[in-house]
Amino acid sequence: MQYVNMNRIRKAAPAMAVLSAALLVTACQAGGSSSGSDSPSKAPSSAAPSSGAPSAPASSPATTPATSTPPVTASPASDSHTTGSTGSTGTTAKTCTAAALTATAHQATDRPVGTGTGAAIVEFTNTSKQACTLQGHPTVAGAANGSPDHNAPLKVTPTGTATPVKLAPGGKARVKLTFVQVQGEGDGYCKSGADPVSYPTMVIGLPGAGAHQVALDDGVFAECDNTVTVTAVSAAALS
């Protein structure tokens, strides 16, 4: 039978109490340190004061808007239309010379009622190798078959707007002459009481382009009162 030494137990009890207390303090410190590392402290965010105005949104990176290139407006091609209404384009052509033109004449389809000429179309053709320009209203004079310098000028009444007409080589331009019509048969008569006049040729003058003597392709120029109404030079077909 063994007996417990009570004196040893009494002596060891205080030491064990001290050891237990030390272990308890160490465990508490370890727990506090572990808790601190698991939940790191964060600074509380400061609440924005409520001022009634909406808070400004976070600024986004600046983006440069795409620049749209304005459409290029094409300028119209240079076209000197001082060259007329024939539709041709390019540089301005000089005024036609008298030598560059040939002239012919025929009785117009649309003419006053009567037995004289009534109206005639005079056509000019550019027979040169260069383009040239005609513009304006003609002068008109009655003449015999001889020199065009021996003529009787008619009183001219111009109608229409004078615009330049460009004639390419071989191109044509025209004027229309409308006379006071002769009435009646035979030698006829004039409503004004004057005597009718007949001319084998007419001398047609064009501004800057000389004088051109023409005869009708059939008959003579018969008119009254020595007056004529004329159109400006035109590239259009006249009747």
Provide the pLDDT confidence category of residue 26 given band limits of 50, 70 and 90. very low
Alpha-carbon gap, residue 80 to 90, rounded angstroms: 7
- pLDDT, tens digit, 9 for 90 and up, residues 151-199: 999 999 999 999 999 999 999 999 999 999 999 988 899 999 999 999 9
pLDDT band at 92 (very low <50, low <70, confident <90, very high): confident
pLDDT at 229: 98
Query: Who wins on pLDDT, 7 or 190?
Result: 190
Using CA atoms, how far apart are residues 225 and 205, in angstroms rounded to an integer?
Answer: 20
Q: How high is the pLDDT of residue 225?
A: 97
211: nearest Cα among 159, 154, 148:
148
Residue range 23-31: average pLDDT?
42
pLDDT category of residue 2 using cuts at 50, 70 and 90: very low
The mean pLDDT of the chain is 74
Chain mean position to CA 134: 27
Output the pLDDT for position 35. 41
CA distance 89 to 156: 32
Taking only the tens place, the pLDDT of each residue in 209-234 is 999 999 999 899 999 999 999 999 99
DSSP 132: E
Q: Which long-range contacts (CB under 8 A, 24 or more apart) does 62-71 make?
A: none
Q: Which of 129, 126, 107 is nearest to 118 (CA)?
A: 107
pLDDT-derived band at 53, boundaries 50, 70, 90? very low
Angle, alpha carbons 160-164-170 (nearest 5°): 115
42 pLDDT band (50/70/90 cuts)? Answer: very low
Task: Summarize the confidence of residues 41-45 as an average pLDDT.
Answer: 40
One-letter identity of residue 19: L
Q: What's the confidence (pLDDT) of residue 186?
A: 85
Helices (H), the chain: 6-38
Can you tell me the mean pLDDT for 37-61?
A: 40
pLDDT computed for residue 96 by the predictor: 98
CA proximity to 92, closest of 78, 74, 106, 77: 78
Q: HSE of 15 in the Cβ direction (CA atoms, 13 Å)?
A: 5
The SS3 assignment for 233 reads coil
Q: What is the pLDDT of residues 112-158, one digit of tens each?
A: 999 999 999 999 999 999 999 999 999 999 999 888 888 999 999 99
Model confidence at 61: pLDDT above 90: no
Q: Where are the beta strands (DSSP E) in the chain?
A: 101-107, 119-126, 132-134, 139-143, 151-153, 155-159, 165-167, 172-180, 197-199, 201-206, 210-214, 221-231
Q: What is the percent of the chain where pLDDT is above 70?
A: 62
Instruction: Give the per-residue pLDDT at 146.
Output: 82
